[in-house]
Homo-oligomer: A and B are copies of this chain.
Amino acid sequence: MFFEGSEKKAEIIIDAQKASLLKDYDDEFWGALVAQCEAKVLSKISNETCKAFLLSESSLFVWNDHLLILTCGDTQLVNSVMFFLNHIDKDLVQQIIYQRKNEYCSHLQASHVLDDTKQLQTFNQGKLLRFGELDSHHSYLYHLDNDYRGELNDKTYEVLIYNIDPAVSALLTQKNIDNQQIRKILQLDKMIPDFILDDFVFEPFGYSLNAIFKEHYFTIHLTPQEHNSYVSFESNINLIDFIPIILGIFSPASFDVITYNELDFAEKLSHVIPPEYKTKELVETKLSCSYLVDFASFNREKIAFTQPFEINLEDNTNVF
């Protein structure tokens, strides 16, 4: 079966003076929320500030004042968002940020971002932006257009990589590979030595990791199969510093970087992007809710001919 690795993502911020997502909602509620998009909770880790649920399709993180949910495959994340909005006093919702990455096979998705947006608009008025051109990597971002102002130190980093080195793909799709082996390949000890880890190896392949440390989160989702490989890293610690490690492990053909409130985006990237990667997209804006959002997409320059990919017409369900 073809598996769409790229995520839909929602962040919802509430008024923590009047409610607490950790205290007012139990795990049964979060399980029901996740079920709305046909995912389920596999495991959970927590500390004093954060609960992190590892899902059958990605991750859910809950803090007192906000939640973050990422789901991949053909999940309809917007259904989980609407479920939450139906279970909270409307006045407590300060901001909704809903993102959707361009997909490998958008024609196989149950909805388009415009359909999702129509549902979100029934709650309140928002804006929909596209970062990146329609013919290349891009990310849709919907946010409420209200007078909420985000905090400058509320930072988010995403590094999304495509078409990883076939040798690494082979390594990660081998039978019986376990989480300890994958942790080692990912060099987690270099990136997040102090974090509590929770991970899962999927059958026949695929891997998800949640990690938390104090108020910090770090999550990886790995769709390793050759020809439609995809790996996402997301965190509120600075992932730009880890780009050399990530590129060193995976040597992807292309990758994207998305940040919220990283004030030195271009300058910081200039130190970590190897010269063989060329900038295809470079977009920046300040949202009306004050978040500074940056998007960049990089492609490795081709210097030698490759062969076309022949689609197996007897079994064309995995790769298009």
Q: Helix, strand, loop or mixed for chain A's interface?
A: mixed
Contact A303 B279 (CB under 8 A): yes
Contact check, A135 vs B107: say whether CB atoms are below 8 A apart.
Answer: no
- The reply to whether B109 and A310 contact each other, CB–CB distance below 8 Å, is no
Q: Which residues of B contact A319 (CB under 8 A)?
A: 134
Instruction: Verify if A295 is at the interface (C-beta below 8 Å from B).
Output: yes
Establish whether residues A301 and B278, one from each chain, have CB atoms under 8 Å apart when the complex forms.
yes
Give A320 to B113 CA distance when docked, in angstroms: 9
Cβ of A254 < 8 Å from any Cβ of B?
Answer: yes
Assuming the A-B contacts A109-B107, A285-B308, A310-B129, are A228 and B134 also in contact, with contact meaning beta carbons closer than 8 angstroms in the complex?
yes
Report yes or no: A135 in contact with B162, Cβ–Cβ below 8 A. yes
- Is A316 on the interface with B (CB-CB < 8 A)? yes
Contact A128 B311 (CB under 8 A): yes
Contact with B along A119-141 (1 / 0, CB 8 A): 00100001111110111110001
A135 B109 Cβ-Cβ under 8 A: no
Q: Please, which residue of chain B has its CB at the minimum distance from the CB of A117?
A: B313
List A residues 152-207 near B (Cβ within 8 Å). 162-163
- The yes or no answer to A112 lying at the interface (CB within 8 A) is yes
Residue in B109, B129, B136, B305 whose CB lies within 8 Å of A283: B305
Complex: chain B residue closest to A126, CB-CB: B313
Nearest chain B CB to A137 CB, angstrom units: 7
Q: Do B107 and A107 have beta carbons less than 8 Å apart?
A: yes
Chain B residues near A141: list those with CB within 8 A: 308
Asked if residues B280 and A302 are in contact (CB atoms below 8 Å), the reply is yes
Is residue A35 contacting chain B, with contact meaning CB distance below 8 A?
no
Tell me, in angstroms, the Cα distance from A285 to B313 when the chains sit together.
19
Residues in chain B near residue A121, CB distance under 8 A:
313
- Residue A233 lies at the interface, judged by CB distance under 8 Å to chain B: no
**Complex alpha-carbon distance, A149 and B203, angstroms:** 44
A266 to chain B: closest CB distance in Å?
A: 7
Residues of B near A305 (CB, < 8 A) are 266, 282-284
Q: Which residues of B contact A299 (CB under 8 A)?
A: 136, 278, 280, 299
- Let me know if A308 and B280 touch, CB within 8 A: no
CB distance from A115 to the nearest CB of B (A): 10
Residue among A109, A128, A133 with max Cβ neighbours from chain B (10 Å): A133
Give 10 new A-B contacts, CB below 8 A, not counting A278-B299, A280-B299, A283-B308.
Answer: A114-B320, A117-B313, A121-B313, A126-B313, A127-B313, A129-B308, A129-B309, A133-B254, A141-B308, A282-B305
Task: Give 8 nearest A-B pairs by CB, closest first.
Answer: A129-B308, A278-B278, A282-B302, A284-B305, A128-B311, A130-B309, A279-B302, A131-B308
Could you give 20 example pairs across A and B, Cβ below 8 Å? A112-B320, A114-B316, A127-B313, A128-B313, A129-B308, A129-B310, A129-B311, A133-B163, A135-B254, A136-B136, A136-B254, A141-B308, A278-B278, A278-B299, A279-B303, A281-B306, A282-B304, A283-B307, A285-B307, A299-B299
